[in-house]
Amino acid sequence: MRLNYFFISSLFISLLLETTIFPYPLFYIFALLFYILIPSSATVFVVFLLGIVLDALRLSAIGATPAVLILSFILILLAQKFVNLRDYKVIILFLFLGAFAYAKMFNYSSNLLSYLIPFIICEAVVFYITSKK
């Protein structure tokens, strides 16, 4: 239950950061991570509503972000048949590819290096944590 509250609060924070000071698809990343770890209809509902709020705050087409997120959720469901999505390396790869594709569709910064550096740092942190065990 605490994990749900953590992800919902991180979605709100990423929504505020993305629309005000940090033009990076944080909401998309947290929404995908939220769905990978807690795949439920409540997750889809919360992400859908917050996606509409994100579109309204960004002054973009209302419903575009939830549509892309639902398509991403469907792709995740299809990918779970072939790949173990509980492996952190696979999750980071999916998040990177999804965030970069989302950024290209919605005109965020198109610099590949600006997307690669945070995910390399995440991979290093995950590798460090898993190698300690």
**Radius of gyration of the chain from Cα atoms?**
15
Indicate the length of the chain as a whole number. 133
**How far does Cα 107 stand from its chain's mean position?**
16
| Overall domain count for the chain | 1
Q: Say which residue the tokens 């792709």 belong to.
A: 75
- Read off the pLDDT of residues 50-72 as tens digits, 9 standing for 90 and up: 999 988 988 888 888 898 888 88
Report d(CA 99, CA 29) in Å as an integer. Answer: 6
Domain that holds residue 49: 2-132
Amino acid at the residue 84:
N
The two three-digit tokens of residue 48, written as one number: 């859908």
Q: Could you list the pLDDT tens digit for every one of the 133 residues in the chain?
A: 677 787 788 888 888 888 888 777 888 888 888 887 788 888 889 899 999 998 898 888 888 889 888 888 888 888 877 777 667 777 777 777 887 788 788 777 666 777 677 777 667 766 666 666 5
Question: Model pTM?
Answer: 0.77
Query: What's the pLDDT at 49?
Result: 92
Spatial separation of the C-alpha atoms in residues 56 and 65, rounded to whole Å? 10
Check: CB of residue 25 under 8 Å from CB of residue 102: yes
> Residue 117, SS3?
helix
What element of type H or E holds 1?
none
Distance of CA 58 to the CA centre of its chain: 17
